Amino acid sequence: MDTRKRQLALQRAARATLPGHGLTTAVSAMPAAPAVLPNPACVPGAGRSCRHALTDVDLNAALHAYEQTVRGRFESIEDVLRTLSAWQHERDFVERAQALARQRLDFEWPLAALENAWVAGLDMAALHAHAMFETIRRCVALAAQDGAAWRARLPVQPEQLRACGVHTLDVSPCADGRLQGLLPFVLRTAPHDHVVVKAYAGALFDVELDVQDWTQRELERLTGLIEGGQALDYLKVAVYHFSSSHPQHEGCAAHGSHDARAVAAAIERLHALRAAVDNTFGDGAAPLVMLMGVDTDLDAIRIHLPDARGQVHAERFLDAATLYRETLGLDAATARRRLHEAVAAHARDLGGVLARQPGDDGLVRLAALWLQANLSQIEYVIEHHGGRYAVIGHDEFFVCVGDALPPLQLRNQYYHAHLDTVEEGTADLDVGVKIFTGLNLRRGLALPVLVHFTYSSRVPGARQRAVARGQRVLAAIRARYRHWDERGLLHGRVAVSDRHGREVVALVDEPAPAAGGHGHDSMTRGQRP
């Protein structure tokens, strides 16, 4: 049994034998969780229904269909490769291999990769990488075609953010693949030009880079490029994660699965960002901040609102799983009122919440909006994943380096390392390679690395520079992980997206390998979308 299937079986077996557990308060200190738990919000059965009045059932169904389609395409790759391995010495192997690829994967293999298999055997790592990049290409196109309807239905759209006083939402989750569905699934928030995701191992975002990003957005606000910007602000959200069923092993790897360290480190970065902006541009210039936690077993969130002085407290938060349970069975209007009352009470307990202008309750309203949206995701996990994800650890398919992939925001779809240069992202990359050493490399499968950068078509030459930067980063990754590269297991491609146009995650040609180079990506070289 392979790693992914073994993890799945072990988690299902463990969940089936352990007792339940519930939370007691929506605003509380972090509990010490038992080893494995059912969903604390609701456990269906014995005549009990987990159907909350505020759940968007139709949106849950649409998101589940999307998840099944995308995950199904990627999960088919290994099954097809196993079949090819058994067929490779058959006389009609090439024809059968191509027919299977067309039927199961929606593409054909490069002919050169199949023709001599009966002599030299198949290069499974190269086939695996080729299949991965082709599937990325097809799933991006699928998201563009079929995802528009459910993205438009997401409850947190740009207009809702603006109504809460936010012109730019800058989110830095941990690079962990379990947080890759944060926006559309966990927070039900639509992607947009003014919604930025920059993932870092341990949510340890780059304070200096964020000051630059804030400065750019502030310039746009002051020059009128952001409509209504005078009354709006920049919001930075750091997102840590934890595992309620296996806290000592499936928490944040960058913090040694120590939840308190993960929270403290994220708070330190948020406070440092506010201090950096105030110290540079004057008191009162600092952006809004918020801390969020995600239980990656359940997708239930915790929101740590900043107090009126902008201070975030580790032990004080609102818990969506508790709010789900405490409002379950109420009609929609009553449940919504109870949720807003809980958020308002928490804000009073903090002595007020950080605001751009006195009396502004934008962050309080946004917290309520996200908590309500998360109720649907809690129920999504209950209905479609048995209350707790079967694989509570890592199950990613590839590594994305550079900018995130908005069309493929899905739990455990990929590990994301946000960077401009390999030197600055060493820690994030090393964590990703360590994860894939267990998932793929030890089994002889590829480490697929997609280097992705965005550019603005409004800037002359921007696309060419984005491609060149991607190629430099990919070359540096090959050099850093030379051991895997020389064994033909590290396979990389470069992709670019136009933030103002229609080009989205477009795979581009790689330069020809240098003399003496390994050239093991030749089966993907020279193909354009």
| pLDDT > 70 in the chain, percent | 88
Q: What is the pLDDT of residue 424?
A: 76
| pLDDT > 90 in the chain, percent | 71
Which candidate in 2, 92, 146, 176 is catalytic?
Answer: 176
DSSP state of 156: B
Distance CA(286)–CA(332), nearest Å, equals: 37
288, 354 contact by CB (below 8 A) = yes
DSSP state of 509: P
149, 62 contact by CB (below 8 A) = yes
Does residue 217 carry a pLDDT above 50? yes
How large is the angle between the packed helices 462-480 and 426-439, nearest 10 degrees?
A: 60
In this structure, the number of other CB atoms found within 10 A of the CB of residue 77 comes to 22
In a 3-state reduction of DSSP, which class is residue 447?
strand
Beta bridge partners of 171: 197, 237
User: Which pair of tokens denotes residue 471?
Assistant: 């190629």
Q: What is the pLDDT of residue 90?
A: 92
**pLDDT tens sequence across 1-24:** 444 544 444 444 433 333 332 333
What average pLDDT does the chain have? 87
Question: How far is the first Cα of the chain from the last one, in angstroms, to the nearest whole number?
Answer: 35
In this structure, the number of other CB atoms found within 10 A of the CB of residue 111 comes to 11
Does residue 455 carry a pLDDT above 70? yes
**pLDDT tens sequence across 306-364:** 999 999 999 999 999 999 999 999 999 999 999 999 999 999 999 999 998 888 999 99
Q: Which residues are CB-neighbours of 282 under 8 A, at least 6 positions away?
A: none
DSSP state of 190: -
Distance CA(158)–CA(23), nearest Å, equals: 33
Alpha-helix residue ranges (DSSP H) falling in 291-361: 320-327, 332-349
Domain range list for the chain: 157-384, 393-508
Alpha-helix residue ranges (DSSP H) falling in 412-486: 426-439, 462-480, 482-486
Q: Worst-scoring range by mean pLDDT, 216-230, 266-280, 507-521?
A: 507-521
| pTM score, whole prediction | 0.85
How large is the angle between the packed helices 57-87 and 93-104, nearest 10 degrees?
A: 170
**pLDDT tens sequence across 387-403:** 999 998 888 999 999 99
Distance CA(38)–CA(50), nearest Å, equals: 13
**pLDDT tens sequence across 85-115:** 999 999 999 999 999 999 999 999 999 999 9
> Is 123 a residue of the active site?
no
Distance CA(179)–CA(292), nearest Å, equals: 12
Does residue 84 carry a pLDDT above 70? yes
What DSSP assignment string belongs to 384-422?
HSTTS-S--S----EEEEES--GGG--TTSEEEE--SST
Of 312, 309, 158, 161, whose CA–CA distance to 235 is shortest? 161
Overall average pLDDT of the 125-149 stretch? 90
User: Which pair of tokens denotes residue 92?
Assistant: 């009609």
Q: Worst-scoring range by mean pLDDT, 46-50, 500-504, 517-521?
A: 517-521
User: Which pair of tokens denotes residue 404?
Assistant: 């995130």
Q: Does residue 341 or residue 25 have the better pLDDT?
A: 341
- Buried b vs exposed e over 306-343: b needs ≥16 C-beta within 10 Å? bbeebebebebbbbbbbbbbbbbebeeeebbeebbebb
Distance CA(170)–CA(161), nearest Å, equals: 12
Of 225, 224, 239, 242, whose CA–CA distance to 169 is shortest? 239
**CATH architecture entry for 393-508:** 2-Layer Sandwich (3.30)
Q: What is the pLDDT of residue 511?
A: 45
* Residue 516 pLDDT grade (very low, low, confident, very high; cuts 50, 70, 90): very low
**pLDDT tens sequence across 458-506:** 999 999 999 999 999 999 999 999 999 999 999 999 999 998 888 999 9
User: Which pair of tokens denotes residue 419?
Assistant: 């960077």
